[in-house]
Amino acid sequence: MKIIISLFFTLLIFLSAVKAQSSTKEEIEFAFNNAQKGIYYALDNIPINKTRLSEELIEKNKLVAKIKLSKEINGIKVESTGFYLSNEVSIIIYKSYDSLVKEGYIKDAEIYKKD
């Protein structure tokens, strides 16, 4: 009987640890998706006359992402931090003006190069 009870408690502890890991993984994935939303927002809103852009995405009274975009030599740098509950995930990407034109985010790279 003691063996059965100890096996039951061992199994219960193991299952709770597995559930906690899957919960953390899901929370990180939500934060990552929110960071991706910030990247796409920044790419869709590249300023022509400014060298920097700093925005916050808010959805349903919650901070979803903080975005920083800066113009670099021959391209841009976008940093997006996504939030979900107590988790935050940061993504930094660099894009050349040529790739931005090719992907359709900007029409003429020369306009953006002039600061």
- Residue 86, domain CATH: 2.40.128
Neighbour count for residue 28 (Cβ, 10 Å): 15
Domain-embedded: residue 70 = yes
Domain-embedded: residue 75 = yes
**pLDDT higher for 96 or 4?**
96
Residue 48 is predicted with a pLDDT of: 86
Domain-embedded: residue 20 = no
Bridge partner residues of 56 (DSSP): 66
Task: Please count the residues of the chain.
Answer: 115
Domain-embedded: residue 14 = no
Give yes or no for residue 107 having a pLDDT over 80.
yes
First to last CA, the chain: 78
pTM assigned to the model = 0.76
Give yes or no for residue 108 having a pLDDT over 80.
no
DSSP state string for 52-69: EEEEEEEETTEEEEEEEE
| 23-82 per-position pLDDT tens digit | 888 999 999 999 999 999 999 999 888 899 999 999 999 999 999 999 999 899 999 999
Tally of domains within the chain: 1
Give yes or no for residue 19 having a pLDDT over 60.
no
Domain-embedded: residue 77 = yes
- Supply the range of the domain harboring residue 104: 29-113
Domain-embedded: residue 16 = no
| Best mean pLDDT range from 8-12, 65-69, 107-111 | 65-69
Domain-embedded: residue 40 = yes
Residue 94 is predicted with a pLDDT of: 96
CB of 94 closer than 8 Å to CB of 77 = yes
**pLDDT higher for 11 or 70?**
70
